[in-house]
Amino acid sequence: MKYPHYIALCQKGDRSAFKALYQDYAPYVYSICKRYGVKEQDCADYMQDIFAAVFTSIGKFRKEKGVLKGWMRAITVNTILAKKRIRVNLYVDDGYNHEEIRIMLNIKVETSRSQLMRARKWLQKNIDKHYGFVVNSSPKTKWS
């Protein structure tokens, strides 16, 4: 199926068009997940959420405003960051410990800790790269 053709079919709810879209773009979405530090065992969950967002909002896609690949990348990155932000917010802003987060999100304590550390490292790297300063990473900060 050609790109513009199956987008129009997806927008009409055609299941075979959704399948074609998934088959064509799953490797791309997977590679973005891996680049953003999503663990192998978590990729399927992330991809399910990403493609659910793509399929439910495909009606909003307008080819005049950009290419499908860019639109899907934006949805992918936003979904990944939103999921990571939830864990960081629960820990840093809401004061939950890793055991409480484990129960709320149905994950292992180690997963909560490692995702928090990866989010911290990602933030430090990207804040420095984009804004030219390093986030304070002293042991006194609440990141462990």
The sign of the torsion formed by the CA atoms of 92, 87, 40, 61 equals: negative
Q: Are 76 and 55 contacting, i.e. CB atoms less than 8 angstroms apart? A: no
Give, in words, the CATH class of 3-131. mainly alpha
Find tokens 């462990």 and name the residue: 144
- 15-35 helix and 68-88 helix, angle to the nearest 10 degrees: 60
Is this model's pTM higher than 0.85 or not? no
- pLDDT 10s digit of each residue in the chain, 144 long? 445 678 889 999 999 999 999 999 999 999 999 998 888 888 999 999 999 999 999 988 887 778 889 999 999 999 998 888 888 888 888 889 999 988 988 888 998 898 888 877 877 776 666 565 554 544 444 444
For residues 82 and 42, what is the distance between their CA atoms, to the nearest angstrom? 14
